[in-house]
């Protein structure tokens, strides 16, 4: 396995000395360089066998440590109805206690407890505010299009973004990039709202999703949106898929300063606690 954070490995070293953008401001040169694999300090979207993932949390943690990540956010899906395999309240509490134990056991990786919630057709979320408030952060998704047209889908996304408990907009194009051409939403409106609300927008690097594509990423940078590069892993080994997102971000010309999970953990927490 090629480790992501080792600047001495051949892949990373080949990246590391180039791509510095000219900068008129008096600020960190690194923040104006194209993002590299070795810049990614943590991942904020993955799944365990608590709810739909293939592997137990400990296996995910072992892989994250092998990748030399500083932090990992666990974001299993919230249960929506009785037929759904997502986390119920009891499962949430149990998972939180396991995360607490693992954080005490390992000092080289910090686990965050997040949750992925699929927005309803009207943009509301399936968990009450007091439950959402107990997570380190909330990833709201728009995976199911509910047959909405562009205006309806955009209005739904805007309600999600305006929810004060939402920190990350996941699957921002509705997970359609691999199956449909065109994006049935007003992306400019959504990106403008996300930048204003300080909601990060996800580059979902899961090869089955590839949502946003690089043209959307470039537009997000233009609008000043904070992005995350997410592997959305459902298996431990798939955590490494964030690298596809790095390549996509580089194609879009994204700098580290645009990408939340290139920042230290304290800065990530501060963003979530804004």
Site for Zn ion, rule CB under 5 A: 116, 232
Q: Are strands 71-74 and 110-118 parallel, antiparallel or unpaired?
A: parallel
| Residue 167, CA distances (Å) to 27, 48, 140 in order | 26, 21, 8
Provide the minimum distance between the beta carbon of 34 and Zn ion in the complex, in angstroms, as a whole number.
26
- Residue 136 or 232: the one with the smaller Cβ distance to Zn ion is 232
Provide the minimum distance between the beta carbon of 116 and Zn ion in the complex, in angstroms, as a whole number.
5
What CA–CA distance (Å, rounded) separates 45 from 203? Answer: 11
CA distance between the termini of the chain: 36
What CA–CA distance (Å, rounded) separates 13 from 10? Answer: 5
Provide the minimum distance between the beta carbon of 45 and Zn ion in the complex, in angstroms, as a whole number.
6
Cβ atoms of 239 and 67 within 8 Å: the answer is yes
- Residue 53 or 123: the one with the smaller Cβ distance to Zn ion is 53
- Residue 15 or 175: the one with the smaller Cβ distance to Zn ion is 175
- Residue 15 or 232: the one with the smaller Cβ distance to Zn ion is 232
Q: Residues 34-50, buried b or exposed e (16+ Cβ, 10 A)?
A: bbbbbbbbbbbbbbbeb
Provide the minimum distance between the beta carbon of 17 and Zn ion in the complex, in angstroms, as a whole number.
35
Residue showing the smallest CB distance to Zn ion in the complex = 232
Provide the minimum distance between the beta carbon of 14 and Zn ion in the complex, in angstroms, as a whole number.
31
Collapse the DSSP code of 223 into the 3-class scheme (helix H, G, I; strand E, B; otherwise coil) and give the result: coil
- Residue 98 or 202: the one with the smaller Cβ distance to Zn ion is 202
């Amino acid at each position: 396995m090629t480790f992501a954070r080792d600047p001495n490995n051949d892949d990373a070293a080949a990246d590391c000395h180039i791509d510095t953008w000219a900068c008129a401001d008096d600020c960190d040169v690194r923040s104006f360089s194209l993002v590299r694999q070795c810049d990614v300090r943590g991942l904020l979207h993955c799944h365990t066998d608590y709810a739909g993932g293939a592997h137990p949390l400990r296996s995910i943690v072992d892989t994250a440590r092998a990748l030399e990540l500083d932090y990992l956010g666990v974001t299993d899906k919230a249960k929506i109805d009785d037929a759904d395999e997502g986390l119920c309240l009891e499962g949430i509490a149990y998972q939180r206690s396991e995360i607490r134990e693992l954080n005490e056991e390992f000092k080289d990786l910090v686990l965050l407890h997040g949750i992925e919630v699929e927005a309803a057709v009207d943009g509301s979320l399936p968990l009450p505010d007091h439950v959402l408030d107990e997570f380190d952060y909330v990833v709201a998704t728009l995976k199911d299009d509910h047959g909405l047209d562009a205006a309806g889908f955009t209005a739904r996304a805007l309600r999600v973004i305006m929810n004060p408990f939402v920190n990350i907009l996941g699957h921002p194009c509705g997970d359609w990039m691999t199956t449909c051409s065109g994006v049935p939403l007003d992306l400019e409106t959504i990106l403008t709202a996300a930048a204003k609300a300080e909601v990060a927008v996800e580059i979902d690097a899961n090869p089955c999703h590839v949502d946003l594509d690089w043209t959307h990423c470039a537009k997000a940078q233009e609008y000043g949106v904070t992005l995350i590069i997410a592997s959305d892993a459902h298996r431990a080994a798939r955590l490494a898929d964030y690298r596809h997102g790095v390549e996509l971000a580089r194609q879009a010309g994204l700098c580290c300063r645009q990408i939340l999970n290139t920042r230290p953990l304290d800065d990530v927490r501060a963003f979530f606690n804004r």
